[in-house]
Amino acid sequence: MSDSAFHYVDGVLHAEGVSAASLAEQFGTPLYVYSRDALTQAYRAYADACAGRNATVHVAVKANSNLAVLNVFARMGAGFDIVSSGELARVIAAGGRAENAVFSGVGKSAAEMREGLEAGVKCFNVESIPELHALNEVAKSLGKKAPVSLRVNPDVDAKTHPYISTGLKSNKFGVAFSDARATYAQAQAMDHLDVVGIDCHIGSQITEISPYLDALDKLLELVKQIEADGMSIRHIDVGGGLGITYDDETPPAIGDFVTTLLDHIEERGHGAREVYFEPGRSLVGNAGVLLTRVEYLKPGEEKNFAIVDAAMNDLARPAMYEAYHRIVPVVKRDAAAQIYDVVGPVCESGDWLGRDRELALVPGDLLAICSAGAYGFVMSSNYNTRPRAAEIMVDGERARLVREREDVKQLFAGESILPD
C-alpha cells in the first residue's frame, strides 16, 4: 500500500482525498480501489530514470489490465508488454498503440500471431523453435516480416517464489541458454522473420539487483556471439519483476534499479542498443487496495476467524502462493485487539486472506487488504458463482467507477440447458 496515496485522516483510511469508508458505502464491497497518483508516481520513477538514455518502458498488462489503469499509463506515453491478443485489444481500447507493444508469452496461437502482425506490434518475444516456425508461416501468409526477439533463459536464480521464478533451466519459459546461439541462426535463416533483439525475464517479486546483473552478463556475452554470426541485435529487453514491499521487503528504489542496469549495459560497451523495461507489479501493486466487510466473528478452540465478504476468488494470491498482504482497519477502533485468521465465505479451507492478524473488530467493520493492485482483480474468478468485484479509480477528491460489479445473471447468461 502506498503510504502517500493510502493514509489515515483522523483514524479513517483515505485513498488520496477520499474516505475509504465512503467508497465502501457508495460502491459496496468487495471493492478494488486504485490511486491514480500512485500509478503516476511509480511510472514517472521509471520514465525519469530512462530520460536521456536509450531506454523505454513497457507496462506489463498482465499485472493489472483495467482499461482506466492502462489509460493512465498510455497518457504518459508508455509502451506495453502483452501476453495475449486479448491484452492487445485492451491496450488499444485504453488508448495505447500496437506499435509500442511487445508480444510475449510461451504459447501464442497462430490466430494471436496474425492479430499481432495485422495490428503492427513492435516485436514478438519468441520462446521456442516451433514458435519461430509458426510465426514465420503466419507472416508468410500475410506477406509480412515479423520482428522477433528470442527470450533466452539464462539459468539464473531470482531468489523468489518458485511459482513466479521464470529464469531457471527447469522453467517452461524461454530458449535454453546453451541453445540460444543456434536458435538465433535458425531464426535468421527464415525468410519472414526479422531478428531485432534479445529478451530475458527471470521472475517476479525480485528484491535484489544482483540476479539481474548476473543475467545481463550472460546475455551481453551472448549478444557478442550472435553478432559475430552476422546478426544485428538492436535492443535488449531486460524484462520486469522488480519487487514491492508487502511486509518487510526492501526492494531497491525504481530509479536506482533502472540506473544500475543501464550503467551496467553501457559499461560493457552496449549503450547504443535500446533497452526495454517491462515493469508490472512495481507500477501497480501498491497503487491498489481491496476493501472488504466483516460478516461474522467466529471464535474457535484454536483459532479466531474474521469471516469477510471477500474471498480467494477475489484475491487468489494468499491461497495460490501463501502470499502475505497487510490487512488494516478502515476505521481504527480504540479497543482491545484479538488474533484472527481473516477468511472468506468460499467453501475451501484454502480460502484465507491473512493468518494470525492482530485486529480490533466488530461485525460490519471494514478492512483494507493492502498491496492488491497487482495480480488481484486480474486473477479473480467466479468460483462458487460469485460475481467479481467492482473497481474504482480515485483521482484527488474524485472517485470513478471503472468497472461495474458483476451480477449473478451475467455469470450464466451464455449458458443453456438441454432441450426436453
What positions carry a catalytic annotation? 347
CA 122 to centroid of chain Cα atoms: 20
How far separated are the first and last CA of the chain, in Å rounded? 54
Measured distance CA(31)–CA(296) in Å, rounded: 18
Q: What cell was used for 114?
A: 496474425
Kindly write down the DSSP assignment for every residue of 59-99, as one continuous string: EEGGG---HHHHHHHHHTT-EEEESSHHHHHHHHHTT--GG
Per the listing, cell 474504482 goes with 392
Q: What cell was used for 178?
A: 546453451
Measured distance CA(416)–CA(407) in Å, rounded: 18
Q: Which residue(s) pair with 12 in the sheet?
A: 9, 331
In Å, what is the CA distance from 401 to each residue of 66, 67, 86, 391, 398? 11, 11, 22, 6, 10
| C-beta neighbour count of 339 within 10 angstroms | 11
> Is 257 strand, coil or helix?
helix
In Å, what is the CA distance from 328 to each residue of 289, 338, 399? 10, 13, 21
**Among 390, 396, 380, which Cα is nearest to 26's?**
390
